[in-house]
Structure 1
Amino acid sequence: MTSHAVPRTQQAIVQSRYGAVRDVLALSDAVPVRAPGPQEVQVHVRAAAVNPIDWQMIEGNRRLITRRRFPFTPLFDLAGVVTAAGDRVTSFRVGDRVHADNEIDGGGASEYVNVHSRLLAHAPAGLDFAESAAIPLAAQTAMTCLDRGQVAAGTRVAVIGAAGGVGHFVVQMARAAGAFVLGVAGARNQKFVRSLGADEFIDRNATDVSSSFGADSFDVVIDCVGGREQWVQAQQVLRPGGRFVTIARDEDGVVTPASAARLLSTITARRVRGAGPRGTKYVPVFLKASGTLLRRVNELVEGGRVRVHISRSFPLTLEGVNAAIDESRAGRATGKLVLQR
């Protein structure tokens, strides 16, 4: 193992149980720093980002899907410097600037964290740690949406929630692919969404896509907001065989056996209804993070075709994490919320 001097213990923000964020997160000064396993890379965390899944997991809203062991250090998105690498790691060396969506183990709210090398990528040249931390989860999700939607040159795409963390990446990636893009967001974000490259814009609080566009207007609708109404509206504007790609559910909140059963039933029914070459395809997206996918994103970033927009930056402290989560819950951020040392 290639190694670098690090302390035996560290300061980290630790979750003790499920519950309200400010009740269950605390600062600990004695969290062990573990040597990386054979395929792991140890990262000195310099910045992290907040995503809705972070506070949903902390509160236990997703415990039916993924349970976590306590104590747990939250925040999946992180960027920093490699301080050690396992014996079987060949792509990363001490001193490399890296970033990742550490999709199971989190650790962005710690000083040092081990990340499996398959999740890791070198940070894009020219970006600082905060910008690098803002990319992994949201941009990989956006890229997956374009892949599943089969977006290419000439595709007509409507992006619902175009100003958000995932949505602002979707708009840019679709334009980079040569697609026509309609951005759907609140009126206050019109200038921002157009600056990302959207060809047209709709204020989703004043109207809806089907009121502004007729049947067969789009090949793909990418939904970053959720709610049954998005699916209903999409069917009215998609061409036969068009795709409705969504990263959200019809109903938010705690996942219970009943809501999980409803979700499964809904997905099944919509897929059956969309069967055949002319049916509307219902495509739910569940991210599978990887270094390979992240490197595809980074190529667009380094090529100047996708930029990171940081809505607000917070200190990587307990109070900073609490404040960033409050901002995320409010749902008003354009782009990404980050934390940095």
Structure 2
Amino acid sequence: MRAVVMDEYGTPEVLRERELAVPALKETEALVEIHVASVNSGDRLILSGAFRDALPLRLPHVLGIEIAGVVSEVGENVTRVKRGDRVIGLAAAGGGYADYAALDENRLAVIPPELSFRETAALPAVGLTAWQSLLRYGRLQSGQRVLIHAGAGAVGHIAVQLAKLLGAYVIATASARNLAFVRQQGADEVIDYAATEFWDGIQPVDLVLDMVRDGGATERNSYAALKDGGKLLSLVSPAISRNPAIRGIEAQFVRPEPNGSDWSSLVRLVQERRLKIHIDGIFPFGAKGIAEAYRVHDAGGKKGQLLITWAR
């Protein structure tokens, strides 16, 4: 099968196309023929070497944690999916930038025939992160106030929509060129982070969701935007829970976990057209296409999700 691998850490230019064997199945795994994968920030950080100590790899390595495709084979103990099912999946260890990937059945969710792979491929990791951040970690309630940083991004634009569906008052930060887009997602207030100190003059919020990699500046300044006893959730700082207690604010690092019920809820919202995944770019499968997608990702300012597609 075709695969795009990294033989070393570095920039997108180190990615290479290789012929690899189709993965052998364990008894609780399904083999998925991949039709769509996503460009995920986690993959990009793995490629750069930022996670090499926390997540050591055996090189060469196939990146790609979010996939959508068709089950082509199942292990002998698989009961949740069957051959021919259209599924989305979370390949936490990578493997999605290939023609086929083997995933444990608990990391797959069946999608209905009326939904496309493109509009659901971002749900396994990005959608799950937004959902679990707000509901499981944040326990966001109707009438509460939430501040979502990077509201135009892959996780951010989904989190804005979900927070509104939950009945919250939503404030989001974004670049000047993406302010209108974030308002379209339902944000009640949008702050241009480059022109305004977001914490200055803001009415205190119950919850902050931070996904900005800026050396911790956004995290530190977010305390000033929170009510006493509020919650600060980070997608980028695993050490945040060790921060000194400030005004009773609960600081947590979000670690999304595969959950069939959560995925089913997200799929249902997309099916009901209450949640829309914005696709900002589509790139062909291959080293050249994936490298170009990463360059677009690195340039910043994107809206929603970038996808990799196979010609099938």
The within-5 A match list for 1:61-100 is: 61-100=50-89
Quick check: 109-118 or 62-71, which moved more? 62-71
> In the TM superposition, what whole-angstrom CA distance separates every residue of 1:46-72 from its partner, at most 9, and x where no partner exists?
011011111211222101111122222
For the pair 1:310 / 2:310, whether they are aligned, the reply is no
Shift of 1:123: 2.5
Separation in structure 1 between the aligned mates of residue 121 and residue 199 of structure 2, nearest angstrom: 36
C-alpha distance in 1, partners of 2:111/2:95? 18
- 1:174 match: secondary structure: helix
- Provide the C-alpha distance between the structure 2 equivalents of 1:13 and 1:333, rounded to a whole number of angstroms: 24
Are residues 1:11 and 2:2 paired? Answer: yes
Matching residue of 1:293: 262
Give the CA deviation at 1:114.
Answer: 0.4
Looking at structure 1, the residues matched to 170 and 196 of structure 2 have their Cα atoms a distance apart, in angstroms, of 17
Whether the 8 Å CA contact 1:100–1:291 is kept in 2: the answer is no
Pairwise CA distance, 1:308: 0.5
Of 138, 149, 154, which residue of structure 1 is paired with 2:126? 138
1:110 aligns with 2:79: no
Q: CA deviation at 1:125?
A: 4.8
Question: What is the CA-CA distance between 1:43 and the residue it aligns to?
Answer: 0.3
- Structure 1 residue aligned with 2:169: 180
Gaps spanning 5+ residues in structure 1: where? 1-9, 250-262
Q: What is the alpha-carbon distance in structure 1 between the residues aligned to residue 208 and residue 251 of structure 2?
A: 10
Question: What letter matches 1:327 in structure 2?
Answer: V
Within the candidate set 148, 151, 154, 2:140 is matched to 151
Shift of 1:153: 1.0
Which of 296, 300, 307 is the aligned partner of 1:327? 296
Preserved contact between residue 182 and residue 200 of structure 1 (Cα < 8 Å): yes
Q: Secondary structure of the equivalent of 2:151?
A: coil
Determine the structure 2 residue equivalent to 1:246. Answer: 234
Measure the CA separation in 2 of the matches of 1:56 and 1:12. 19
SS for the counterpart of 1:279 is coil
Of 227-236 and 278-287, deviating more is: 227-236
Please state if 1:27 is matched with 2:17. yes
User: Residue in 1 aligned with 2:32?
Assistant: 43
SS class of match (1:210): coil
State the partner residue of 1:126.
Answer: 114
Which residue in 2 is equivalent to 1:221?
208
C-alpha deviation, 1:124, in angstroms: 4.9
Q: Aligned partners of 1:169, 1:58: CA distance in 2, in Å?
A: 25
C-alpha separation in 1, matches of 2:179 and 2:8: 40
For residue 268 of structure 1, what is the amino acid of its counterpart?
Answer: R
Give percent identity, aligned residues only: 32
Q: What SS does the aligned partner of 2:199 have?
A: helix
Instruction: Give 1:174 shift.
Output: 0.6
2:46–2:52 CA contact under 8 A, matched in 1: yes
Separation in 1, partners of 2:46, 2:199: 34
- TM-score (norm. length: structure 2): 0.93
Equivalent position SS for 2:62: coil
In structure 2, do the counterparts of structure 1 residues 325 and 20 end up closer, same or farther at CA, with 3 Å as the change threshold? same
Partner letter of residue 125 of structure 2?
L
Aligned length: 308
Q: Is the 8 A contact 2:11 2:48 kept in 1?
A: yes
Q: Tell me what 2:48 maps to.
A: 59
- Greater Rg, structure 1 or structure 2? 1
SS of the residue 1:175 aligns to: helix
Residue identity in the other structure for 1:219: D
Match of 2:308 in 1: 339
* Partner amino acid, structure 1, of 2:67: L
TM-score by length of 1: 0.86
Offset from partner CA, 1:84-131 (integer Å, 9 cap, x none): 111111121111110112111x22111111011111101255332222
